[in-house]
Amino acid sequence: MAKKVRVCFHDRCFDGTSSAAVFTRFYRECVDAQAGFAYTGLTHKPAGSLFDDGLFDAEENVIVDFKYSPSPKLTWWFDHHQSAFLTPEDAEHFRRDSSGHKFYDPHYKSCTKFLATVAGEKFGFRAEPLAELIRWADIIDGAQYDSPEAAVKMNVPATQIALVIEASKDELLTTKLIPELAAKPLAEVAQLPLVAAHFRELYRRHENSMDILRKKVEADRGVVFFDVTDHPLEGYNKFIPYYLYPDCFYSVGVSRSTQ
């Protein structure tokens, strides 16, 4: 029977989804080619435990691009966030780990690039086939676009896929995309029906949110301000204010959410 690998990843996040894809390919190529994978998206919660009882139900339990768990069932962990540890005790637990399978470096802009680098240096993983995915995860998660326009116009496959990952209401979409991202170029993934259909609708909403913000934003001494609480705007591209006012350094906004 094939070994089961449970990969937990930061959901609704291009970097989290890409990290899960890179880990999948790395594990199949360098650890166990016959392993079977199951994926669970994790989101930050305002209170309570981040990790439900029974989450780590496999022979290999993995977390990528998300906070550390001291569970003895966790076998692999990769993260790059400054806020990776919920408590000092968790940080100390990580420092005492001797498995050689848990890695942390907050100097990386993306977990995807960090994971690919570690897997290459320590386990001989050849990440070249995923170079495009790794490069774009670093750009998107590190906000390293050439311009605000590049982030807002979404005229390349990576940014189109990122919009779908972040804004689709299909709760299973990211878990469906992970194997595709692990195996196909971004241009092919963007043309998949489960991506293309969502993108068309989501981009229409994106253009609507741009129209709303264009009417609402005000700029003063390098700061963009806006209040959109009178509109049913669940989310918006955070680069829009800088696209509208390229000389600004900060944006301060108020919006309303069902949550």
Quick check: 47 pLDDT over 70?
Answer: no
Give the mean pLDDT of 168-186: 95
Long-range contacts of the stretch 160-165 (C-beta < 8 A, 24+) = 160/190, 160/195, 160/199, 160/203, 161/14, 161/186, 161/189, 161/190, 161/195, 162/14, 163/199, 163/202, 163/203, 163/206, 163/237, 164/195, 164/198, 164/199, 164/202, 165/12, 165/13, 165/14, 165/17
pLDDT for position 259: 62
Question: Which of 52-61, 125-134, 177-186 is least confident?
Answer: 52-61
Give residue-wise pLDDT tens across range 95-104. 999 999 999 9
pLDDT band at 4 (very low <50, low <70, confident <90, very high): very high
pTM: predicted TM-score of the whole model, two decimal places: 0.93
